[in-house]
Structures are given as C-alpha cells and as structure tokens.
Amino acid sequence: MGRIRTAIGLMSGTSMDGIDVALVKTDGEGVVERGPAVGVAYDPAFRKRLQAALETAKTIARREERPGDLADVERDLTLRHAAAIASFLDANGLTKADVDVIGFHGQTVLHRPEQGLTVQLGDGGLLAGESGIDVVYDMRANDMAHGGQGAPLIPVYHAALARNLPADCAFPVVFVNIGGISNLTYIGPDGAIVAFDSGPGNTLIDQWVEAQAGIPFDQGGMIASEGRAVAGLAARYLDHPFFTAPERRSLDRNDFSPPAGGEATLEDGARTLAHVTAAAILKSAGHLPERPKTYVVCGGGRLNQVIMGDLAGLASDRGAKVIPAEAAGLDGDSLEAEAWAYLAVRALDGLPLTFPGTTGVRAPVSGGVVAKAERGAVSDA
C-alpha cells in the first residue's frame, strides 16, 4: 500500500452545466475512501460563454493557442474552480492544510484524437496560487503523446471501485457514464479492463430542448416521456460510422449534431434522442470481449427515466441488469470528480493513468502537470 493522500477532484464536463467537486482519501491504488462532494452550477450566462468557447476553439491548431477571448474564459473558469474549492473547504470544516492535492480537469473545448489534439481550458498554476494547494492538471496530453486517444481516463478509477461492488453485481461489470458524451468501462471476471466512449450521452437532448423550448435539459426525462421515438431519425444517429468502426475512438462533443427544428416535435425529438443514448451504449457494448452481466450507471443521464427505461429493456434482452450507481453504494453525480482526485494521486506517484485497453495508448503511461502551491512552479508529474 502506498502513501494515503487527501485529494480533491474537480470536473467540468462536456455538458458544461457546472463544476463537480469531490474529496477522496486514497493511495491511488486499492484504497479509496470517498468523502464529501458537491456540484456548483454555472449561471446561464457563463454556460453560454463556454458554448461559444467551443466554437472559437475550432480554429486551434496547437494546443497552447488561445484565440479570441479564450484566455479570458480560461481565467474566469479557473477562478470559478478556485471559488468552488474555497466554499467546499469552508462547508466541510477543512482548510488547505488538510488537502494534499487537487486533480483539475478543466473544460474540454476541442478534442480531435485523429490529429493528436486535445485542449482543456484550465490554468493549473493560477488554481494552485489561488487555493494554496498543489494542483495536477492537463492529464490527457501525455496519453496522446504516446499514441492514445486522450480519453477516457476514468476507467482506472472504475477498476478500483469494482473491487468493492456488492455481491449481487455479477461480472463482467460495465460502468457507464452518461454525461454529455457517454463512455463505458468493462471489467471482466479476471479484472481485464476495456473502455471507450460509447456515443452521445445527454448533449443532443440538452441542445434539442434548449433550441426548441429554451430549457437546459429534460428533467427526469419528462418531455421524452410524452413523445414517441421517430424511427428514421433514431436510425440516422445509430447508423453513424462510429458504431461500426473497427477501432473504438473517443468522441468530441461536436461529433454528433442535434436534429434540425422541423424534424420532430419537442417531445418526439426528446424521446428519440433518449432512445439513441440508450441504444448507442448497447451498440457500443457489442464490441466488448464478453457480454456484460451488470451495467452500473453514473452521470446525469441516469436521472432521465426514459434513458434508464430503454437501457434496462435493451440490456435485459441481452441477459444483463442495469442499476444506478447508488444501488452499488456509489454516488453517480460525484464519480467523475472522485476519479480526478484519484488520478491526481496516481500522477504524483508516477502510476499509469491509461492503458492500451482504455485509450489505445502504446503502453501504460502516467501523465499530468504539477503546479506547486508555494512556488507557483509547474513541472511534469
């Protein structure tokens, strides 16, 4: 067992709905003690700025470029993370001295694995200075430099959690994260890990209901529950070459676009896209080495009852059961942030973050950049 550190993970995911903060005590290996967690929502104006940042980022050719107002957005984003840390510490009666490291994801604004390009806004040095805590950030780049897709990174944390699942979670187990994009991690009976992005998660639904009704997401799947799936529209998404590609690859939020306004009613569009989200996961799972027996679902999409209903139905047809993370004793909202805390500790100890079976990297590699609190210095982890 390695040294146990107290780490805080910070995740601003592809849904751009806010910052998830979670504390974990861990040795970066088998010891994982999950602590408090909180979600801090972005105000609508900042969410719009992030959405605009994705457009601006499309011109980036080298990952350090910050065209347009991206440098300002990065600073603002980082200061929001610093404020989230300050209020999290305060709310939990902690001080910076109680925390060894922060794992800082930042905001992905561009992800083009085929070009070896992935860009996360987030100034680790600024966050270390503001919080007074060492920060590990930019954890995707080293994987890409070694031939990986730069995502998903969460599988090594799923594998750690899989060691302590309730006895009724039969293996193979698949952890599914339904965020903006969905990704899955397969853990075989022998502990083998296979992981990849599995398709659009909530991003199409969010963009659809925003454009059609001016609301940010389909709470509980209420809108979808009043609609009917449009078969042709669903097929258009599920026939995307991504699902039949010989090699699994990671996705950019912009790889799938929402339907055009006239293609469905608000309800039918939401119903169709909820089905696409569920069916995409099962379609991608067809590339796994063995049929999964249990799906453990994390991320905001598990709160959409229509997605969950379709997922349960499709999985049951294949002899598998679907449970939300909470039924496995986990917290489906904070799991990604917990993972970034866990990854930061692994990075400090030089342990691999990614593996050939998770990102396609040539050999297991560590990663991340360390920004020291006291000196404002930055170095590779």
Ligand X SMILES: Nc1ncnc2c1ncn2[C@@H]1O[C@H](COP(=O)(O)OP(=O)(O)OP(=O)(O)O)[C@@H](O)[C@H]1O
Ligand Y SMILES: CC(=O)N[C@H]1[C@@H]2OC[C@@H](O2)[C@@H](O)[C@@H]1O[C@H](C)C(=O)O
Binding-site member from 15, 107, 120, 250 for ligand X (CB under 6 A):
15
Rounded distance, CA 25 to CA 211, Å?
Answer: 41
- 15 known ligand binder: yes
Size of the site for ligand Y (CB under 6 A): 17
Range in contact with ligand Y (rule: CB under 6 A) among 18-26, 94-102, 126-134, 180-188: 180-188
DSSP-assigned beta bridge partners for residue 371:
135, 378
Contact partner at residue 202 from ligand X, ligand Y, none, CB < 5 to 8 Å by partner kind: ligand X
Out of ligand Y, ligand X, none, what residue 111 binds, judged by CB under 5 to 8 A for its kind, is: ligand Y
Per-residue tokens: 100: 């060894």
Interacting residue with ligand X among 113, 125, 155, 179 (CB under 6 A): 179
Residue 43 assigned as binding residue: no
Residues 336-375, one symbol each (x = binds ligand Y by CB under 6 A, - = not), give x---------------------------------------
20 is in an annotated binding site: yes
Query: Does residue 202 interact with ligand Y by CB under 6 A?
Result: no
Separation CA 124–CA 11 (nearest Å): 13
Nearer to ligand X, 99 or 273 (CB): 273
Nearer to ligand Y, 152 or 259 (CB): 152
Q: Tell whether residue 19 is among the known ligand binding residues.
A: yes
Q: Is 13 in the site for ligand X (CB under 6 A)?
A: yes
Residue 250 touches which of ligand Y, ligand X, none (Cβ within 5-8 Å per kind): ligand Y
**In this structure, are residues 238 and 280 in contact, taking their beta carbons and an 8 Å threshold?**
yes
Asked whether residue 18 is marked as a ligand-binding residue, the answer is: yes
Instruction: Please tell me whether residue 12 binds ligand Y under the rule CB under 6 A.
Output: no
Give the ranges where the chain is alpha helix by DSSP (H). Answer: 44-56, 70-91, 124-131, 141-145, 155-162, 203-213, 222-225, 231-238, 266-285, 305-317, 335-348, 356-359
Binding-site member from 6, 7, 12, 13 for ligand Y (CB under 6 A): 13
259 binds, among ligand X, ligand Y, none (CB under 5 to 8 A by kind): none
CA dist list (Å): 19 to 150, 228, 245, 317: 21, 33, 33, 36
Q: How far apart are CA 320 and CA 332, in angstroms?
A: 20
Q: Which does 154 bind (CB under 5 to 8 A by kind): ligand X, ligand Y, none?
A: ligand Y
**323 annotated as belonging to a binding site for a ligand:** no
State the pairing for strand pair 32-41/18-26: antiparallel
Q: Which residues contact 260 (CB under 8 A, 6 or more apart)?
A: none
Q: What are the Cα distances from residue 196, in Å, to 13, 177, 185, 288?
A: 16, 11, 7, 10
**CB of residue 155 to ligand Y, shortest distance in Å:** 7
Tokens describing residue 368:
């991340």
CA separation for the pair 19, 38 (Å, rounded)? 8
Should residue 183 be labelled a site residue for ligand Y when binding is judged by CB under 6 A? yes
Distance CA 256, CA 272 (A): 14
* 118 forms part of the interface with ligand Y (CB under 6 A): yes
- In the list 12, 108, 203, 304, the residue contacting ligand Y (rule: CB under 6 A) is 108
Cα 164-170-175 angle, rounded to 5 deg: 65
Binding site for ligand X (CB under 6 A): 11, 13-15, 17, 177, 179-181, 201-202, 205-206, 217-221, 299-301, 303-304, 336
Binding site for ligand Y (CB under 6 A): 13-14, 108, 111, 118, 151-154, 179-181, 183, 197, 250-251, 336
List residues forming the annotated binding site for ATP: 13-20
